[in-house]
């Protein structure tokens, strides 16, 4: 595992709104928003000199997903959004690994790892890359054997003006983790792709770590996936391939809503959700007494 932490058995990727990773034939383009320079500098400061990793936003065209198959093995697939022809494929994270040895005979190497991208480069290039980020300069990484007239692939890190709406929500706490929940039914799978924190009081921000909210979001997502995995075919056939789950956790009231295309999910699905969601929500009330916490989770049903 790329991110295995043998002390704590977990690893959290920093997620900066606006970062996009797009792969196409012989080119991987990683866009860093100019407005997020300070946050990217924090990533550099908190990384060691050989490895730097950061999560990216979900692509609205096509995106890599990592799915566990019936043999308990993980495999990477690309999903198309809304049946659009695939122009580019998005990735959930990028790892820059500066430990590539000169003895490999490679300038650099780019490869898909689960639902992300690993870029292996030599130490000198890693130092130059980190310096280019500090100076807010674009950086080009040719991949392939040394001496080839043309690289096999090019990784381009580019600073851009932020133009697209990103997952910022209205809460002072943003999603600083990468959604990972995915469950497979007989013919389709359900994938949790995004989370928005819509509201949280300052009192919660003062005593909760981001990991507390991320753990709650992941628990809710897992419960939703378990509840609806048996209904994936009927949901997809009803035009509800993309749906949202909105949850409120407060000392005085707790509840949730689920819907797609501006319409609540039918009662048959809500009954299944109640069985899984209600115990989780009641347990969460004791942890978030200074609420409310309101979050919205987005799910995709994929073939």
Positive/negative CA dihedral, 77, 81, 86, 87: negative
Q: Are strands 20-24 and 254-260 parallel, antiparallel or unpaired?
A: unpaired
- Burial of 239-251, coded b for 16+ CB within 10 Å and e otherwise, reads ebbbbebebbbbe
* Parallel/antiparallel/unpaired status of strands 116-121 and 62-68: unpaired
Collapsing DSSP to helix, strand or coil, 245 comes out as strand
Distances, alpha carbon 118 to alpha carbons 56, 211, 276, 284, in Å: 13, 25, 36, 36
Domains and CATH numbers, the chain: 20-160 (3.30.1360.220), 182-302 (3.30.500.40)
Residue-level pLDDT, tens digit, the chain, 303 residues: 444 444 444 456 777 888 888 988 889 999 999 888 988 999 998 888 889 999 887 765 676 666 666 666 666 666 565 555 667 788 888 999 998 999 999 999 998 888 788 999 999 999 999 999 999 999 999 999 998 888 989 999 999 986 544 444 433 333 434 445 566 767 888 888 888 877 554 444 444 444 567 778 888 988 999 999 999 999 999 999 999 999 988 777 788 999 998 899 999 899 999 999 998 888 887 666 666 788 889 999 987
**What does the chain come to in residues?**
303
* pLDDT score for 253: 77
Q: What is the pLDDT of residue 30?
A: 93
- In angstroms, the CA 115 to CA 148 distance is 29
- Quote the pTM value: 0.52
């Amino acid at each position: 595992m790329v991110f295995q932490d043998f002390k704590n058995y977990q690893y959290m990727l920093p997620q900066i709104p606006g970062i996009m990773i797009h792969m196409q034939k012989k080119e991987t383009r990683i866009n860093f928003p100019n407005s997020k320079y300070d946050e990217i500098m924090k990533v550099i400061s908190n990384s060691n000199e050989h490895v730097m990793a950061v999560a990216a936003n979900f692509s609205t065209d096509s995106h890599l997903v990592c799915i566990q198959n019936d043999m308990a093995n993980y495999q990477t697939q690309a999903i198309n959004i809304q049946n659009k022809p695939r122009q580019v494929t998005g990735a959930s994270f990028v790892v820059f690994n500066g430990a590539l040895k000169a003895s490999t005979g490679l300038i650099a190497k780019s490869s898909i790892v689960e639902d992300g991208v690993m870029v292996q480069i030599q130490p000198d290039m890693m130092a130059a890359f980190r310096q280019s980020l500090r100076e807010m300069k674009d950086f080009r990484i040719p991949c392939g054997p040394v001496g080839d007239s043309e690289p096999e692939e090019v990784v381009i890190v580019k600073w851009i003006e932020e133009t697209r709406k990103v997952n910022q929500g209205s809460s002072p706490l943003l999603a600083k983790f990468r959604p990972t929940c995915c469950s497979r039914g007989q013919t389709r799978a359900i994938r949790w792709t995004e989370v928005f924190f819509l509201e949280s009081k300052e009192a919660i921000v003062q005593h909760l770590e981001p990991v507390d909210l991320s753990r709650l979001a992941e628990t809710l997502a897992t419960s939703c996936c378990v509840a609806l995995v048996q209904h994936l075919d009927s949901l997809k056939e009803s035009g509800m391939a993309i749906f949202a789950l909105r949850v409120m956790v407060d000392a005085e009231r707790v509840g949730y809503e689920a819907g797609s295309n501006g319409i609540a999910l039918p009662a048959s699905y809500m009954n299944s959700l109640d069985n899984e969601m209600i115990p989780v929500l009641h347990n969460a009330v004791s942890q978030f007494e200074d609420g409310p916490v309101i979050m919205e989770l987005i799910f995709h049903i994929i073939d």
